[in-house]
DNA sequence: CATCAGTATGTATTCGCTTTCTTTCATTAT
DNA sequence: ATAATGAAAGAAAGCGAATACATACTGATG
């Protein structure tokens, strides 16, 4: 049987309230008493039961993190940012994978709330109606990390993907390209449909270039699918000269397609993408990319959440973090 | 204020015990009563408080996962395996990063035990004495995933790294190489010092080849460090003709070093490594590699843990999973 | 119709801690 | 010396569920 606060109290000849005070750093304890209690705690190997504490105090010092897939480095990196700030503020993290399935997301949200998390960080592509209403009834703060949701009143932390996409495509246009293919992730995702694609189109239109429907190539966001899609790109009516990829995994798929087919980057095709992983730097040629500050997205989200959990006033709950572009060898 | 089991009981005109029975699927409830209670639960939006439940039942349906760094795809992949099986058995996961710091590991273990996890999965390189004794006093099962520890009585799930390393190096030897460099991760890690290096040496010795001390190159396990180390390798007295790398990130670092220096793989150097990520396949030439079944390591660890938590008999608590070698373009 | 065996439901306790409310006691000011 | 003040410590009431135990109800049986 585990040692309880009663055992310590008996051993130290004080009441459990006093032990509780010592454990929680309450100042109203005589130094001598504190010392005595501390010794007993040490001697008995007492370890406070966080569950009992949680029930009594209605705080669990635990936050929920619902992530599409932790095995994807995008989310793994982001989660690390969350975790580090959580540690800093002494929170634990309950981590669950949703695979972006709306029903699963709702289940997990319910589940986490049932576990009495003090707050929650949610990541996904788009917010289903069910999840929205579920979130609305939650009685703890929820932050959307790297997830569109400014239309709700939920706090969010993001980068300006549309502007970043615009800047990336603009770069290719400035390099003289007039026919740029956009190899995208699934259109079902808001971030692709409402941000990256929009930025791409804005840059193309603004430059007075024609917008070919066939230049829009959708993938399932995997390396292998992108690799396959090269065979589609090479058969296009209009011959493109540059590629704007939704992320580096896609970009590398296309890049390898291009090169395995005997073409050269950046001579035959220039390539630019969003960077989520080491891949951009590890391939040859290294990819020019928009660097997404994943770790920071997570860290800032968690920091925001701590403020919210603390009831602190937050002036702007829709945070936009800066990104930057790094020119490497896949563009000239 | 949240809806409690009392509220439901009052609303449904039954005792809280009955509500509890309904919620927990106890069969001794008249169907009509069950229906009535279920309706009230729905109507009031009652959601059982897992903390209270945990206190009363002494089970939290939560397991702790202590991982060095979730942002590393090695651990991210492994964790996903854990998470999926955890979901299957309806466990939540508390995930913490240790950065392999022994003191932090002990803290986290304490912390998780305080949170009353029903079991724990631990990953690290080596087990410090403190963590060993801490684990010995834990009153819940602990499984070491991808972590050496068969010398303790703790359950483990692993692959045979030594044999895998042996097989990899053997392949290079069979291809005619006599001077093979081993680019390793830090020697402080048991897995490098006691497994991979040992397998390397065994293969070399067994083939009657000389074992050059300078052929052993230690890195900090990062791409960048490995990339730098190429300049060391090229200056070696004895000129190597093949590389055995501890993992694919290292391998790609060396690979890029080789190629940026104007040499060719596999013509000038053959390369083989352990595969942890997509990197092995995404670079050109693709890397011949030992495929480590990371997801399975996690999944099997969690499955083992569920058995242990259930008090089931487990015949062998030291599980060794199979790996396989995939021949690609970095070897002939 | 009384009896017994289930079945269905209720009552009361317990889990280990926080927290409020008291009470006790030591200081200080008057 | 005494009242006022505040620090130190204790007593007791929850927190929201699970659960052991008690009790009421239901039929089937003889």
Write the pLDDT tens digit of every residue in A226-236: 999 999 999 99
C-alpha pair distances (Å), A166 with each of A148, A150, A202, A254, B2: 18, 20, 7, 20, 46
Least confident of A143-152, B162-171, B207-216, B220-229: A143-152
DSSP class per residue in B229-287: HHHHHTT-SS---EEEESSHHHHHHHHHHHHHTT--TTTT-EEEEEE-STHHHHSSSPP
Q: How far is A95 from chain B (nearest CA, A)?
A: 6
Q: pLDDT, tens digit, for every residue of A267-278?
A: 999 999 999 998
Contact B97 A84 (CB under 8 A): yes
Contact A70 B93 (CB under 8 A): no
Of B3, B10, B8, B16, give the one whose Cα is nearest residue B41.
B8
pLDDT score of B160? 96
Residue A198 CA to residue B228 CA, distance in Å, equals: 41
For residue A216, pLDDT over 90 is answered with yes
Q: What is the pTM of this model?
A: 0.94
Contact B49 A223 (CB under 8 A): no
**Chain B residue closest in CA terms to A97:** B83
pLDDT score of B214? 93
Q: Give the mean pLDDT of chain A.
A: 94
pLDDT score of B70? 98
For residue A26, pLDDT over 90 is answered with no
Mean pLDDT of B6-30: 91
Q: Chain B partners of A281 at a C-beta cutoff of 8 Å?
A: 223
Q: pLDDT, tens digit, for every residue of B92-113?
A: 999 999 999 999 999 999 999 9
Contact B45 A97 (CB under 8 A): no
Using DSSP's 3-state secondary structure scheme, residue B97 falls into: strand
With a pLDDT cut of 70, the percent of chain A lying above it is 100
Per the structure, the residue whose CA is closest to nucleotide D9 at C1' is A18
pLDDT score of B126? 86
Residue A316 CA to residue A319 CA, distance in Å, equals: 7
Does the nearest atom of strand D lie within 7 Å of B179's Cβ?
no
pLDDT score of B27? 84
Band of residue A28 on the pLDDT scale cut at 50, 70, 90: confident
pLDDT score of B52? 96
Band of residue A151 on the pLDDT scale cut at 50, 70, 90: confident
For residue B125, pLDDT over 90 is answered with no
Token pair of A214 as six digits? 């066939």
pLDDT score of B286? 94
Band of residue B227 on the pLDDT scale cut at 50, 70, 90: very high
Does the nearest atom of strand D lie within 7 Å of B1's Cβ?
yes
Mean pLDDT of A105-115: 97
Q: Strand A142-145: give its sheet, edge to edge.
A: A318-321, A156-159, A142-145, A119-122, A62-67, A92-97, B92-97, B62-67, B119-122, B142-145, B156-159, B318-321
Q: Give the mean pLDDT of chain B.
A: 94
For residue B255, pLDDT over 80 is answered with yes
For residue B167, pLDDT over 80 is answered with yes
Mean pLDDT of B142-168: 93
For residue A178, pLDDT over 80 is answered with yes
For residue A75, pLDDT over 90 is answered with yes
Distance A112 CA to D18 C1' (A): 21
Of A112, A69, A68, A110, give the one whose Cα is nearest residue A93.
A112
Contact B247, B270 (CB under 8 A): no
Least confident of A195-209, A318-332, B1-15, B76-90: B1-15
Of A237, A330, A236, give the one whose Cα is nearest residue A290.
A330
pLDDT score of A125? 86
């Amino acid at each position: 049987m585990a040692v309880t606060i009663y055992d310590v109290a008996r051993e130290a000849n004080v009441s459990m309230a006093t032990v509780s005070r010592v454990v929680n750093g309450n100042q109203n304890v005589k130094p001598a008493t504190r010392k005595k209690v501390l010794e007993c705690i040490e001697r008995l190997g007492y370890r406070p039961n966080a569950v009992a504490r949680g029930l009594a105090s209605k705080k669990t010092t635990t936050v929920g993190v619902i992530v599409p897939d932790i095995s994807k480095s995008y989310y793994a990196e982001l989660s690390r940012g969350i975790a580090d700030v959580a540690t800093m503020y002494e929170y634990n993290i309950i981590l669950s994978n949703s695979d972006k399935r709306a029903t699963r997301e709702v289940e997990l949200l319910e589940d986490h709330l049932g576990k009495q998390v003090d707050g929650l960080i949610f990541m996904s592509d788009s917010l289903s109606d069910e999840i929205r209403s579920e979130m609305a009834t939650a009685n703890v703060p929820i932050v959307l990390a790297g997830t569109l949701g400014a239309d709700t009143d939920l706090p969010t932390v993001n980068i300006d993907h549309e502007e970043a996409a615009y800047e990336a495509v603009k770069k290719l246009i400035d390099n003289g390209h007039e026919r740029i293919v956009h190899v995208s992730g699934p259109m079902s995702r808001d971030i692709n449909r409402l941000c990256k694609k929009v930025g791409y189109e804005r840059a193309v239109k603004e430059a007075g270039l024609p917008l070919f429907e066939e230049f829009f190539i959708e993938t399932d966001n995997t390396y292998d699918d992108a690799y396959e899609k090269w065979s589609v790109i090479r058969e296009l009516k209009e011959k493109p000269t540059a590629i704007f990829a939704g992320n580096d995994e896609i970009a590398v798929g296309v890049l390898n397609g291009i090169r395995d087919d005997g073409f050269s980057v950046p001579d035959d095709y220039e390539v630019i993408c969003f960077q989520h992983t080491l891949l951009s730097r590890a391939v040859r040629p290294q990819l020019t990319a928009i660097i997404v500050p994943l770790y920071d997205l997570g860290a800032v989200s968690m920091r925001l959440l701590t403020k919210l959990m603390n009831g602190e006033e937050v002036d702007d709950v829709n945070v936009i973090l800066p990104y930057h572009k790094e020119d490497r060898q896949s563009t000239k």
